[in-house]
Amino acid sequence: MAKNMKEKMLKTFTEVFGDAEGVKLYFAPGRVNLIGEHTDYNGGHVFPCALTIGTYGAVRKRNDNKLRFYSMNFDKLGVIESSLEDLKPCKEAGWTNYPKGVMWAFGEKGMKVPCGMDFMLNGNIPNGSGLSSSASVEVLTGFVLRDLFGFEVSNQELALIGQFSENQFNGVNCGIMDQFAIAMGKAEHAIFLDTADLSYEYAPVRLAGAKIVIACSNKKRGLGDSKYNERRSECEEALRELQKVMDIKALGDLDEETFEANCNAIADEVRVRRARHAVYENRRTIKAVEALKRNDIELFGKLMNQSHVSLRDDYEVTGIELDTLVEEAWKVDGVIGSRMTGAGFGGCTVSMVKDAAIDNFIEQVGKAYKEKIGYEADFYVVEIGDGPVVL
């Protein structure tokens, strides 16, 4: 981490909280999912990686039960005060519901947080971009609690606690992928994770002569109130209908042929399409990882493109902003593959772009996007990084 970020954090902490005596600094990454979208709650595979951008934290213990939160990203909100007696979600608490949710979840798991904290964050993940700023804050908080109070939890358990807090405290029915990718990140590798049983392997991502470019649509969306929970229940209903005619635990158990042979058990055509996406996307993810292992980047890119088409047509979670970014990316020479990533309805696309084409890609896609959508997209050339660390 650049020394100046450390200095900046300590300087701000001193300005906000009076001094920086006894402060510790932390970092947890953001994540991007390369392929395998909306499969994580359908018992399928995902293929995310941690990024070198993420959330920085400066934290110190207090000798009372007070919680004082400050975010450099929302500095206008000033210090938001709470206490360990008041670990309940509320709208007024804003972003602090994420760290408070994790503190609550630790307590639920028998690890009561013993004292209050001064807790300052500074994220360099674009907010509302779909690169998992909330999961990054959750994993960072869990990592801080483990470090400060010596709780016996593995990184994998930190991921599960983060997901539990988001589901139960923040009311977002998210799968495990985001927190897992962040807690278990490994530089230059993506994580091939089977969400059905949390078995995983690291697969090296060797992009000789190419980089991952993230395009942020700058369309804001709230996960909890997007159609995320609706899609999830459509898939659950389709699974129940299929279970009447076959013995499966999840849509991820099916291959394409078996699905097509049995999909007439699903009564509603919309649910057929939702389930088809879950089944085909899971198989695409398995094929994509095999392609990477053979160093077949071209096939990986084709599978990314097919993933976007399925998310657009069968799952219907893309929208004009993401479709414009992807369809314009496909026109640029040197783009290996491009797709929306994250929950959809705004957020980001992820593209693999040859080094020589990156400048042209950003210029061409950016110009077309602004002409069509009316405001600008932001572009980030990213590296694959490690999981959470003490700085």
Catalytic annotation present for 386: no
Query: What is the C-alpha separation between 129 and 137, in angstroms, rounded?
Result: 14
Phi and psi, residue 100, nearest 5°: -65, -40
The angle at the Cα of 268, spanning 254 to 278, to the nearest 5 degrees, equals: 30
Give the H or E element holding residue 335.
Answer: strand 335-341
- Total count of residues recorded for the chain: 391
Contacts of 20 (CB under 8 A, 6+ apart): 10, 13, 14, 58
Beta-strand relationship, 66-71 and 117-123: parallel
Query: What is the C-alpha separation between 369 and 170, in angstroms, rounded?
Result: 33
Burial 102-122 (b: 16+ CB within 10 A, else e): bbbbbeeeebebeebbbbbbb
Query: What is the C-alpha separation between 39 and 280, in angstroms, rounded?
Result: 10
Nearest to 197 by CA among 216, 214, 180: 180
Query: What is the C-alpha separation between 300 and 239, in angstroms, rounded?
Result: 28
Token pair belonging to 37:
């979208």
Residue tagged active-site, from 178, 194, 253, 314: 178
Query: What is the C-alpha separation between 178 and 264, in angstroms, rounded?
Result: 33
Query: What is the C-alpha separation between 353 and 362, in angstroms, rounded?
Result: 10
Tracing tokens 């939702």 back to the chain, one arrives at 274
Catalytic machinery residues = 178
